[in-house]
Structure 1
Amino acid sequence: MELDALRANVRAFHPTTLPTTGKRHAAVALVVADQAILLTRRTTRLRAHPGQWALPGGRLDPGEDAVDAALRELSEELGVDAPRGSFVGTLDDYPTRSGYVITPVVLVLDDTPAITPNPDEVAEVHVIPFADVDVEPRYLRIPESDQPVVQLPLVGTLVHAPTAAVIYQFREVALHGRPTPVAHLEQPVFAWR
């Protein structure tokens, strides 16, 4: 896919923003470089969501917007200092069962960056080609919710929401120009208990 077309698709998308009152506002960096995205696995030593697949991200600091937070977290977690000019747009806010509203920030880099993972936060980093991102999601039902849990088959395993929901919407919006909502897609119980 041509990056100009990807940028145009993301810029044409009108993301849904959710209120953050009573929630913690977070941002994740969906980093595009050389026809691929970056995906991490959190270290098992983290207190919150240990060992889960994630996009670089975290809570907004006072005075930050979602783009500032995504760029800061990308630098802290992967040692990648992306310029603010790499910001293309955002996807829909995703509400988590653990009390966050996540804003996905799409960043497009000219080249694959040198990556230096922070071992206190990141156990693995994977560069996922668009061909692997362009996969059909799997859905399953759980007794705790009337909405389906979304899973994406990536890196030889299943990645769950919220990360799977964000990557799936990226696939739909950026790669195919389809404004597909994902906020209703459920997370597995282990992600919120």
Structure 2
Amino acid sequence: MDSLRSRVAEALRRFDRRPADRPDLKPASVAIALIEPGPAFLLTRRASSLRGHAGQWALPGGRTEPGETYGEAARRELAEELGLELGEEAELGLLDDYPTRSGYVITPVVLWAGTDPALHPSPAEVSELHRVPLELIDVEPRFLTIPESDAPVIQLPLFGRFVHAPTGAVLHQFREVVLHGRPTRVAHLEQPVFAWR
């Protein structure tokens, strides 16, 4: 377990992360919370009652509050959405920022959540919670062409369906950087039109 944590932290330390210089967008953070056994990460389906992106697959996350670091925001959102309280020492590193069509720039924070943590999903925010083994995202995504954009839409196969950007893009970069040591970029990958608002 500790060796996996060390390998993930080392892969992120070697990665030359690219922030997005987009002051026109609202800052947000998402958590890639790694757990054992597995190893796995935590993935949610957003509650149908939410105003934005209801019912979509999502990593725990949300808007970064003034004065918060990316890691603080990701850990706060984990606590609010899943009842999972983590300290600063759980932060392993960051992936590239991903600007969204809906007005945010998302910073993915990779965290170590330990062995079989107690989770208490908030029904106001989360309709489903999945512990996804890392091997399930170690697959090649599908790229689609759409008339509305010159950039390809990424679709990450999971659970017999597809996870789109931003979540699909973030998870694909995690796979590339952490599982394979490849500095693959994903900020240019497009979201499906239904996620543009």
TM-score (norm. length: structure 2): 0.95
**Separation in structure 1 between the aligned mates of residue 137 and residue 6 of structure 2, nearest angstrom:** 18
What is the match of residue 192 of structure 2? 188
**Separation in structure 1 between the aligned mates of residue 160 and residue 85 of structure 2, nearest angstrom:** 29
What is the match of residue 163 of structure 2? 159
**Separation in structure 1 between the aligned mates of residue 51 and residue 157 of structure 2, nearest angstrom:** 26
State the 1:135 CA deviation: 1.2
Pick one of 46, 51, 57 that aligns with 2:55: 51
What is the match of residue 5 of structure 2? 3
What is the match of residue 16 of structure 1? 18
Matched, 1:139 2:135: no
**Separation in structure 1 between the aligned mates of residue 103 and residue 134 of structure 2, nearest angstrom:** 30
Q: 3-state DSSP class of the match of 2:27?
A: strand
Pick one of 90, 93, 97 that aligns with 2:97: 93
2:8–2:92 contact (8 Å) kept in structure 1: no
Aligned ranges 1:114-129 → 2 under 5 Å: 114-129=118-133
What is the match of residue 117 of structure 2? 113
Q: What runs of 5+ residues in structure 2 fail to find an aligned partner?
A: none
State the 1:84 CA deviation: 1.0
Pick one of 71, 75, 79 that aligns with 1:75: 79
**Separation in structure 2 between the aligned mates of residue 155 and residue 56 of structure 1, nearest angstrom:** 18
State the 1:131 CA deviation: 1.0
Percent sequence identity over aligned pairs: 57
Q: What runs of 5+ residues in structure 1 fail to find an aligned partner?
A: none
What is the match of residue 30 of structure 1? 32
Q: 3-state DSSP class of the match of 2:157?
A: strand
Report the residue type matching 2:6 in the other structure: D
**CA offsets 1:23-80 (integer angstroms, 9 cap, x no match):** 1000000111121111100011100011010000000111111111000000000000
Q: 3-state DSSP class of the match of 1:178?
A: coil
**Separation in structure 2 between the aligned mates of residue 133 and residue 174 of structure 1, nearest angstrom:** 12
What is the match of residue 66 of structure 2? 62
**Separation in structure 2 between the aligned mates of residue 26 and residue 101 of structure 1, nearest angstrom:** 6
**Separation in structure 2 between the aligned mates of residue 109 and residue 80 of structure 1, nearest angstrom:** 8
Report the residue type matching 2:47 in the other structure: T
Report the residue type matching 2:178 in the other structure: A
Report the residue type matching 2:15 in the other structure: F
**Separation in structure 2 between the aligned mates of residue 10 and residue 186 of structure 1, nearest angstrom:** 24
What is the match of residue 172 of structure 2? 168
